[in-house]
Chain A
Amino acid sequence: MRSTRLGALWGILPFFIFCLAFEIVPIIVLIKESFFGAGGPTLANYRGLGQKVYISAFWNSIRLSAITALIGTVLGTFVGYSIYRTRSRRVRSLFEAFSNVTTNFAGAPLAFAFIIVLGANGVVTILLQRLFGLNLYPGFQIYSYAGLVVAYVYFQLPLMVLLVIPSFSGLSPEWREAAVSMGASTFQYWRYIGLPLLAPSMVAGMVLLFANAYGAYATAYTLIGSRLVLVTTQIAFVVTGEVLHDPELAKAMATISLLIMGVCIAVYRAAISRARGWNG
């Protein structure tokens, strides 16, 4: 028995060595170097982030992620509930497959599709103009913050739909019947029973969407390039050497971002275990 366990360890070892070399050590070195300057240990890199451009990078990234996570969560819950309520297994698996396929449509192809649809000469832009006399431009621009929100919601929404559908099975129909028989209105049912039960799953979904948007790069880069500063685009500029930021500052930005991701994962785990506690 001992020898087979030892043999198993040898089989797993390459995986561990690979993870150490290309996952753990690089991240640890990155974090360590963010606290070092030419003259030894320092917090100068973090102080350097006080400059206006870095403050607005964090502000833009956090705001964009929070807004699209919120929109994605609210709309995704409605859509997910509508799919769940049809009670038809076929409709449900069709929409689940549909959400699965569309989550793949992200990054550069997505950004480009929105330029075709909502650009100055886009299909929907022209459609709204001809049919309803509604002029999107110049109030709205696809190459802008608002355009970015529309494009991000596109990949956030189906993700939330997929995340939220299973949690509706936790809402027993009996509870609704009990509430109704005691004279509760639909609003009261949702306010006091439905939503509090769904809340942990929705919070879990929302932080996942937040992290998803925060780390996104390709969509933002294709759509707005350097017109709007985001944390990911600023770090990427340092890696490609296009804009001469101080590379040490990028490491400090990355470290703070990893901290934000860590908080997201912690909240996610707490919310998920609460949701499980209620459903189990």
Chain B
Amino acid sequence: MNERNPAKPVFLVLFALYMIVPILATYLFSIATRWDRSLLPEGYTLEWYAQTFQHPYFLITLGNSFVLATYTVAANLLLVVPAAYLAYTRLPEAKLPIDVLTILPFGIPRVILALALVTLYTVPVINRSPFLLVCACTVFSMPYMYRPVANSLEAIDLRTLNDAAMIQGANARQILFHIIGPNIINGVVSGCLLVFSAIFAEYTLARLITGARFKTLPMLLVEFTRRDGRVASSISVIAFTVALLLSLLIIALAQINQRRSEKPAAVIEKRT
């Protein structure tokens, strides 16, 4: 690759090893009968997966994580996507405040967001309710939705598309669903996947806001790391596999987007 400096591939190999070994070890540990006194597992079994699935809380917490992530995606779709779309098409003055509000959560550690919400919302119905948790998760995940959507809105020439469609007699609804929609759908889908995978793995907010009242899968995992490492490893594998599949999807989508934006003229041509 680089004859002048043979040390470089070594860096890459060490980096790859450091990143892969913990993940591989978790996968292997979850199917090992015993692996604490030998270089390789002493035998292989699916017993820990069986135990995981039989655990009364596993399906409940798995379901809770799915529900939480789904509601958070829905809240983002209802709040962030229309705001981004309207700011870019009709109200450019709103862009700056929306930018600030969606970047701010990156500067607020989740424990502090949880403390602030729990302090303010002491009304019994809301306090430490799953509803408050969804709100917290939505605040935390807004940047994941806003960025890809804003990028895809930025990439298309909204004004030209809009004018062209209006001249040809399209109404607002047709413009949204047939012209703008298809052009930003990739951004919206990427945003949904990013939000979903972030919240599916979210531990801090759930533990601090709802606690035992609404247990999520990562909370069950932490409990098991202290009780039974083998079951913990199988939960860990299940959670990471979901995240892995989602991020592969996101990467594939991003590559499709990139290929598209490299020849934007062709896309517009096809649609007019």
Which listed residue, A8, A33, A108, touches B90 by the CB 8 Å rule?
Answer: A8
Indicate if the CB atoms of B111 and A217 lie closer than 8 Å: yes
Query: Interface stretch among A18-26, A50-58, A194-202?
Result: A18-26
Instruction: Please name the residue on chain A nearest to B13 by beta carbon.
Output: A82
Q: Mark A1-33, 1 if CB is under 8 A from B, else 0.
A: 000110111011011101101111111011001
Find residues 104-118 in chain B having any chain A CB closer than 8 Å to their own CB.
104-118
Find residues 72-112 in chain B having any chain A CB closer than 8 Å to their own CB.
78-80, 82-83, 86-87, 89-91, 94, 97-98, 101, 104-112
Find residues 213-228 in chain B having any chain A CB closer than 8 Å to their own CB.
218, 221-222, 225
Indicate if the CB atoms of A30 and B116 lie closer than 8 Å: yes
Query: Interface stretch among A164-172, A249-257, A271-279?
Result: A249-257
Q: Mark A156-185, 1 if CB is under 8 A from B, else 0.
A: 011001000000000000000000000000
Find residues 88-118 in chain A having any chain B CB closer than 8 Å to their own CB.
88, 91, 93, 95, 97-102, 104-117
Interface check B247, CB cutoff 8 A: yes
- A93 / chain B contacts, CB cutoff of 8 Å: 255
Q: Mark B165-179, 1 if CB is under 8 A from A, else 0.
A: 000000000000000
Known: A79-B15, A101-B247. A30 touches B236 (CB 8 A): no
Interface size on B, residues (CB 8 A): 82
Indicate if the CB atoms of A236 and B22 lie closer than 8 Å: no
Known: A26-B116, A211-B107, A257-B109. A19 touches B139 (CB 8 A): yes
Indicate if the CB atoms of B222 and A221 lie closer than 8 Å: yes
For the complex, give the distance between the alpha carbons of A205 and B89 in Å. 33
Interface check B239, CB cutoff 8 A: yes
Indicate if the CB atoms of B22 and A116 lie closer than 8 Å: yes
Known: A11-B82, A86-B1. A79 touches B12 (CB 8 A): yes
Interface check A228, CB cutoff 8 A: no
Most buried by B among A88, A91, A115, A218: A218
Interface check A127, CB cutoff 8 A: yes
Indicate if the CB atoms of B204 and A218 lie closer than 8 Å: yes
Indicate if the CB atoms of A15 and B98 lie closer than 8 Å: yes
Indicate if the CB atoms of A5 and B119 lie closer than 8 Å: no
Known: A100-B247, A105-B243, A214-B109. A18 touches B229 (CB 8 A): no
Indicate if the CB atoms of A30 and B112 lie closer than 8 Å: yes
- B250 / chain A contacts, CB cutoff of 8 Å: 100
- The contact size tier of chain A is 35 or more
Known: A14-B79, A88-B1, A112-B236. A261 touches B22 (CB 8 A): no
Which listed residue, A104, A222, A258, A265, touches B222 by the CB 8 Å rule?
Answer: A222
- A70 / chain B contacts, CB cutoff of 8 Å: none
For the complex, give the distance between the alpha carbons of A96 and B80 in Å. 28
Interface check A238, CB cutoff 8 A: yes
Indicate if the CB atoms of A215 and B109 lie closer than 8 Å: yes
Indicate if the CB atoms of A101 and B37 lie closer than 8 Å: no
B257 to chain A minimum Cβ distance, whole angstroms, is 13
Indicate if the CB atoms of A108 and B218 lie closer than 8 Å: yes
Indicate if the CB atoms of A104 and B243 lie closer than 8 Å: yes
Query: Interface stretch among B23-31, B149-157, B262-270?
Result: B23-31
Find residues 232-256 in chain B having any chain A CB closer than 8 Å to their own CB.
232-233, 236, 239-240, 243-244, 247-248, 250-251, 255
A213 to chain B minimum Cβ distance, whole angstroms, is 10
Find residues 225-247 in chain A having any chain B CB closer than 8 Å to their own CB.
232, 235-236, 238-240, 247
Which listed residue, A21, A33, A101, A123, touches B35 by the CB 8 Å rule?
Answer: A123
- A16 / chain B contacts, CB cutoff of 8 Å: 83, 97, 101
Most buried by A among B1, B11, B115, B203: B115
Which listed residue, B12, B22, B39, B221, touches A95 by the CB 8 Å rule?
Answer: B12
Indicate if the CB atoms of A30 and B82 lie closer than 8 Å: no
Which listed residue, B104, B113, B233, touches A116 by the CB 8 Å rule?
Answer: B233
- A130 / chain B contacts, CB cutoff of 8 Å: 39
Interface check A83, CB cutoff 8 A: yes
Known: A12-B91, A18-B138, A157-B19. A238 touches B115 (CB 8 A): yes
Which listed residue, B23, B25, B82, B201, touches A107 by the CB 8 Å rule?
Answer: B201
Starting from the known contacts A12-B86, A117-B21, 20 additional A-B residue pairs (CB-CB under 8 Å) come to A8-B90, A8-B94, A9-B94, A11-B82, A15-B83, A21-B135, A26-B116, A27-B108, A78-B11, A88-B1, A100-B247, A104-B197, A104-B244, A116-B29, A121-B37, A130-B39, A157-B18, A239-B115, A258-B108, A262-B107
- B binding-site residues for A, Cβ under 8 Å: 1-2, 5, 8-9, 11-12, 15-16, 18-19, 21-23, 25-26, 29, 35-39, 78-80, 82-83, 86-87, 89-91, 94, 97-98, 101, 104-121, 135-136, 138-139, 197, 201, 203-204, 207-208, 211, 218, 221-222, 225, 229, 232-233, 236, 239-240, 243-244, 247-248, 250-251, 255
- What are 25 pairs between A and B in contact, CB < 8 Å? A5-B90, A7-B90, A8-B94, A11-B83, A15-B101, A18-B138, A26-B117, A26-B120, A27-B112, A33-B119, A79-B15, A85-B5, A98-B16, A100-B247, A101-B248, A108-B221, A108-B225, A109-B26, A112-B233, A116-B25, A123-B21, A154-B18, A154-B19, A250-B115, A258-B112
